[in-house]
A and B are shown apart, each in its own frame.
Chain A
Amino acid sequence: MPQIFRHSTNYLARATIFGAIFILLAALWVAAEITRSGWNTGAYIERQQPIQFSHKHHVGDDGIDCRYCHTTVETSASAGIPATAVCMNCHKQIWADSPYLEPVRASFKTGKPLQWIRVHDLPDFAYFNHSIHVAKGVGCSTCHGRVDQMPVVSQTNSLQMEWCLECHRAPEKFVRPREKVFDMEWRQRNSSKQEIEEGQKLVKEYRIQVGGKNGTGVMTSCSTCHR
C-alpha cells in the first residue's frame, strides 16, 4: 500500500504541536493589545469640533484657567460645557468679525447651543463625579493630559477600568496639593520616592479611604462607581 502522507508531513506534525502553543499565545497577546489600543479605546484620536477651537491657544497662550469655562468642575459631577455667552464675553470684543467664529455668533443670536463633540465618554454604567476628584487633589492633567498643548483635544488615556483602578488602588502615586490641581505644568504622576511620600501625606490629609486588603475600602468598592 502506498504511503498516504509524504515524509515531510512528519515535520509539519511536529511544527503544529509547538505552533499550537505559540499561535495561541500570540493570538491572545494580539487580542490584549488590540483591546488596549487607541483603535478600541479612542485614545490619541483627535476629534474635530464644529468650531476650530484650540485649547492650546486659550489655555497655553492666553493662560485662561480651566474653571473659566468648565465652571461646575468643583461643585458637580459634570465639569460643564460653557454656554455660548461665555465665549461671547471676549469674542464680542476680540475677533468679533472673524469668519471662524460665525457659528458662535449664530448660536448666540438664535440661542441654539453649539453641538460640541464629546471626547471623554465614560460608559453609562460607571458613575463619575468631577467635584470629588478635584476636591481630593486629582489634577486635570492627570486624566486629561496636557490640554494646554492640544490644538485639537484627544483622550490621552484608555478610560478602561484598569486605568481608573491604577489610581483608586494607589492614590499616593497621583494626588497633588489642592492649589496645583489646575496647574497644567505640575507632574501628572508621582514617581520618585520623595514624590510618593508627599503623595502619602496628602492621601492622609485628604482622608482618602483606600481601604484594606480585600477591597473593603470605599475607593475600590464595586458600588462606588457601579451604583
Chain B
Amino acid sequence: MDEKRDDLHSSVHATHPVVGTELTFGSVTDKISAIVLKRKTPIGWFIGFAVSFALFQLMMLAIVKLVFVGIGEWGVNIPIGWGMDILNFVWWIGIGHAGTLISAILLLLRQKWRTSINRFAEAMTLFAVAQAGLYPIMHLGRPWLAYWLFPYPNTMGIWPQFRSPLMWDVFAVSTYATVSALFWFVGLIPDFATLRDRANSKPFRVIYGMLAMGWRGSARHWHRYETAYLLLAGLATPLVLSVHTIVSFDFAVGIIPGWHATIFPPYFVAGAIYAGFAMVLLLTIPLRKIYGLQSFITMRHMNNMAKVMLATGLIVFYGYLIEAFFGWYSGNQYERFMIWNRMHGPYGHYYWALIFCNGLTPQLLWFKKIRANLMWLWLISVVVSIGMWLERFVIVVTSLHRDFLPSSWGMYKPSQWDWAMYIGTIGFFFALLFLFIRFLPMISIFEMRTILPEAEVEE
C-alpha cells in the first residue's frame, strides 16, 4: 500500500496534494457537514440567492408571456427559425456535461482527484440540464402538449417521427437527466445519513432521514452500494458521448451548409466537456474561497481541470479549422460561401470573437504559471463560457440566415423576451445552486474519507 501512498503524495504532487494532509476522518465530516448544519449562512448567500431568485422570476414572466402570446414574441422567424431558444439549449446541455464525465468516466478511470469536485459538478450538471430542457419545450409554442413527444398509445393512433433527430433528442436528454439525477442521488445517500445523524432539529432529521433511505452503513450496505454505484457509472459513461452526439445530429442531419458535416458529433462532445469544465472552474474558484475549502479542492484540481480544458479546447479549435477546410475542400459553392459568409458576412465579428474566445484564449493554459493562477483561470473560464455561446450562435444563426436562395435570406435579432428567458435561466440555475450548497453537502463526505492518508491500511 505504500506504493499507493507514494502515488497520491509523491514528490511530483508534493506541492499540490489531492487533499490537504492535515485532514482526518473526523475533520472532513465536521468541516463539510458544518456548512449545512452549523455554520452561519454567509450574508453573501442571501444576496446571491435573492438576485438569482429574482432573475428566476424574470424567466417565469417570460414563460407566462410566451404561453399567452406564442413564440412570435421571440426574434425567431423564417429563415432563422432556430434562434436563442435552440442555441441556449445547446449551450446549457453542453455545460451539463462535466458532471457525468467527472463522476462516471473519472470514477471508472480511478482518478482519485475527482472526489472533491464530483458532487458539485453533478449538481451543476443536473441544474444545467434542467435549464436546457426548458428551451425545446418552450420552443414548441404549445408547451402543455410536450408529452406528445413521447411514444405512448395516444388517441391520434400515430407514433412520433422516430426518423427525426429531434425525437432522438427527447430520449437522449431525458435519459441523461434521469441517469444524472439517479447518480447524484445515490452518491448522496451515505452523506444524507451523516447529516441525519448530525442534524440538531427534528424536521431536518426526518427529512435527511427519509432521503437516506434507512442507510446504516453496515458492511452489506456498503458492498451493495459500491456495486450499484459502479453500475450506474457504467450506465452513465456512454451517455457522456451519446447526448451531445445526438444534439449535434439535430444540425448534422439537416442539409443546410454549416450544419451538414460529419465532424459534428466529436466536435460537439469535445465542446460540451470544454464548456462543462469551464463552468465547474468558474463556480468552484469563488466557492472554495468563500467556504474555505482550499484543503478539499486543491491546486491539483485546478491544474487538472485546466488541462482537461486545454485538451478539449484544442479539439474544438481543430473542429473550427476543419470546418473551414471542409468548406473549401468540398468545392461546393454553397459550402464555400457559407465559410466566407461566416468570416466576412454580417455576423463575421461573432466568428472572430469565437475564434478569440475558444481558439486562442485557452492556449494560455499551456503555461504552468497561468494554470496556477486562480484569477487567470477564472477569467479564462468566463471567456470560454462566452465563446461556447458564440459558437452555438455562429452555428445556428449564421448557417440559417444565408440559405441556398438569396430570396430567402434574412437577419436575426433576439427580442427582449429572448434575453429575458436567457438571463432568467441563468438566474434559475444559480438559485438551484445556492439551495444546493446551503442544504446538501457540496463535497462528498464519505468519498473524501476514502482518499485521506488515514484511510490507507497496512496489509
Interface residues of A (CB under 8 A from B): 1, 4-5, 9-10, 13, 28, 32, 35-36, 158, 160-166
Contacts and interface: CB of A to CB of B under 8 A. Distances in A.
Nearest to B208: A4
Interface residues of B, number: 14
A163 B156 CA distance: 8
B157 A5 contact: no
B157 A165 contact: yes
Minimum-distance CB pairs A-B, first 10: A162-B157, A161-B156, A160-B155, A165-B157, A4-B209, A4-B205, A162-B155, A161-B157, A35-B155, A4-B206
B153 interface: yes
A166 B214 CA distance: 51
A179 to B, nearest CB: 31
Contacts of B152: 28
Contact of B209 (A5, A28, A161, A166): A5
A102 to B, nearest CB: 42
Given A158-B155, A161-B156, A165-B158, 20 more contacts: A1-B197, A4-B196, A4-B206, A4-B209, A5-B209, A5-B214, A9-B214, A13-B214, A28-B152, A32-B153, A35-B155, A160-B155, A160-B156, A160-B157, A161-B157, A161-B158, A162-B155, A162-B156, A165-B157, A166-B157
Interface in B139-170: 152-158
Contacts of A9: 214
Chain B: interface secondary structure?
A: loop
A160 B155 CA distance: 6
B158 to A, nearest CB: 7
Given A4-B196, A10-B214, A162 B154 contact: yes
A36 B158 CA distance: 15
B213 interface: yes
Given A4-B196, A4-B209, A5-B209, A161 B214 contact: no
B155 A36 contact: yes
A124 to B, nearest CB: 16
Contacts of B214: 5, 9-10, 13
Nearest to B157: A162
A10 B196 CA distance: 17
Nearest to A220: B158
A129 to B, nearest CB: 20
Chain A: interface secondary structure?
A: helix
B155 A161 contact: yes
A10 B213 CA distance: 9
A225 B443 CA distance: 57
5 contacts: A5-B206, A5-B209, A160-B155, A160-B156, A162-B154
A32 B196 CA distance: 41
A198 B156 CA distance: 28
Contacts of B153: 32
A12 to B, nearest CB: 10
Nearest to A158: B155
Interface in B151-196: 152-158, 196
B157 to A, nearest CB: 3
B262 to A, nearest CB: 26
A47 to B, nearest CB: 22
Contacts of B156: 160-162
A166 to B, nearest CB: 7
A173 B158 CA distance: 19
A28 B153 CA distance: 10
Nearest to A160: B155
Nearest to A41: B155
Contacts of B206: 4-5
Nearest to B209: A4
Nearest to B206: A4
Contacts of A35: 155
A164 B158 CA distance: 11
A115 to B, nearest CB: 30
A97 to B, nearest CB: 48
A164 B156 CA distance: 9
A208 B64 CA distance: 47
Contacts of B154: 162
Contacts of A36: 155
A165 B205 CA distance: 56
Nearest to B155: A160
Contacts of A32: 153
Contacts of B155: 35-36, 158, 160-162
Contacts of A5: 206, 209, 214
